[in-house]
């Protein structure tokens, strides 16, 4: 009711201003000789003014309505920069929710007000698509990543391959929780495909997201960890890359992006998706170590 009242007030103001009747408002309102004419005048005035108000005000409000983008935490730095570009270009504010892709998927399934979703794996996006919770026409892969084995910078362990995780001196190994963390899912797959997992499974420390794995290694709370190649520069020299995973040892690490089905601002969300997929967006992603998706 408040919104309707506000719209009528604005509409009336627009009408009077458009007709330049500021100096003659009382005469228009207090017509007594012909009440029926007076009523019709007001009805016509409001109908015209409501159209003017709608065309003049509502698109601006819709255009400037903030959008919410839920994105894998490994995208934090690159998407933050893209968000700044998007805001300067469109005037629309973008709010990011960064976390494990599996947790973000659950939030969207529970009805969280998210306009676009960027996952670090296809599985989470596939789940949302199967539930018809994304706009399939907007879905696209936009980046690719690689797994690396990292150790603390001060580590005395001689590690040059993933098989070195089997050494007796390696007692704590951090990976993301495979239930919700794509990096953990890929790490588990790699360790299983290389026959390493049965020998080290009891030494695994499961983290809530890939950045927590990185923190464990940087703080020397574990002997080694498996993260994305793009995460290494975030540690600012506190970790060293001991080995890079060959492509054959796990599925391609692709990042899909899509507008959600229930987005309250789908047009603006699609504009953000288009920016990420544009040559400019690809260059920003490359700056942070991501590879082209194709």
3-class SS of residue 100:
coil
CB atoms within 10 A of CB 109: 12
- Summarize pLDDT for 126-150 with one digit per residue, the tens: 999 999 999 999 999 999 999 999 9
Q: How far is CA 49 from the centre of its chain?
A: 39
Nearest C-alpha neighbor of 97 from the set 67, 125, 126: 67
The pLDDT of residue 256: 98
Distance CA 270, CA 276 (A): 10
- Domain covering 67-144+252-287 in this structure, CATH number: 3.40.190.10
Cα–Cα distance for residue pair 285/277, rounded to 1 Å: 10
Let me know if the fold of 67-144+252-287 is the same as that of 147-244. Answer: yes
Task: Identify the H or E element spanning 236.
Answer: none
Question: In the chain, what are the domain boundaries?
Answer: 2-63, 67-144+252-287, 147-244
Does the reported pTM lie above 0.85?
Answer: no
> CA dist 3 to 35, 47, 67, 209, Å?
29, 16, 22, 42
Q: Determine phi and psi for 37, rounding to 5 degrees.
A: -65, -40
Per-residue buried b or exposed e for 176-204, using 16+ beta carbons within 10 Å of the residue's own CB: bbbebbbbbbbbbbbbeebebbeebeebb
Alpha-carbon torsion, ordered 142, 276, 123, 191, to 10 deg: 60
| pLDDT cut 70: percent of the chain above it | 79
Can you name the residues that pair with 72 across neighbouring β-strands?
99
What is d(CA 57, CA 61) in angstroms, rounded to the nearest whole number?
6
**Residue of 234, 269, 240 whose CA lies nearest to 78:** 234
Neighbours of 105 (CB within 10 A): 24
Please list the alpha-helical segments (H only) found in the chain: 2-18, 25-29, 35-64, 76-90, 101-109, 122-130, 182-193, 197-200, 210-218, 266-277, 279-287
Domain 147-244 homologous superfamily, CATH: Periplasmic binding protein-like II (3.40.190.10)
pLDDT per residue, tens digit, the chain (294 aa), is 334 433 434 344 334 344 443 344 333 334 344 444 444 444 444 444 444 444 444 444 455 789 999 999 999 999 999 999 999 999 999 999 999 999 999 999 999 999 999 999 999 999 999 999 999 999 999 999 999 999 999 999 999 999 999 999 999 999 999 999 999 999 999 999 999 999 999 999 999 999 999 999 999 999 999 999 999 989 989 999 999 999 999 999 999 999 999 999 999 999 999 999 999 999 999 999 999 998
Q: Which residues contact 254 (CB under 8 A, 6 or more apart)?
A: 121, 122, 141, 143, 144, 293
Span between the terminal Cα atoms of the chain, in Å: 52
């Amino acid at each position: 009711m408040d919104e309707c009242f506000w719209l009528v007030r604005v509409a009336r103001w627009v009408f009077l201003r458009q007709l330049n009747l500021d100096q003659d408002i009382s005469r228009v309102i207090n017509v007594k000789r012909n009440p029926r004419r007076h009523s019709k005048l007001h009805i016509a005035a409001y109908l015209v003014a409501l159209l003017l108000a709608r065309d003049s005000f509502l698109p601006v409000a819709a255009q400037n309505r903030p959008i919410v983008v839920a994105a894998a935490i490994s995208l934090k730095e690159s998407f933050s920069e893209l968000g700044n570009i998007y805001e300067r270009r469109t005037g629309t504010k973008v709010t990011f929710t960064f976390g494990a892709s599996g947790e973000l998927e659950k939030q969207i399934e529970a009805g969280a007000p998210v306009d676009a979703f960027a996952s670090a794996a296809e599985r989470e996006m596939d789940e949302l698509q199967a539930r018809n919770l994304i706009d399939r026409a907007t879905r696209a892969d936009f980046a690719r990543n690689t797994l690396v084995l990292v150790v603390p910078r001060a580590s005395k362990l001689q590690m040059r391959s993933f098989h070195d995780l089997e050494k007796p001196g390696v007692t704590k190994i951090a990976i993301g929780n495979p239930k919700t963390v794509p990096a953990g899912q890929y790490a588990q797959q790699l360790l299983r495909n290389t026959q390493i997992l049965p020998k080290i499974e009891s030494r695994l420390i499961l983290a809530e997201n890939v950045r927590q794995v990185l923190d464990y290694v940087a703080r020397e709370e574990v002997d080694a960890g498996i993260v994305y190649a793009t995460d290494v520069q975030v540690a600012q020299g506190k970790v060293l890359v001991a080995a890079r995973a060959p492509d054959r040892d796990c599925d391609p690490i692709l990042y899909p992006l899509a507008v959600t089905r229930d987005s309250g601002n789908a047009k603006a969300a699609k504009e953000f998706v288009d920016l990420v997929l544009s040559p400019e967006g690809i260059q920003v992603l490359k700056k942070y170590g991501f590879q082209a998706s194709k």
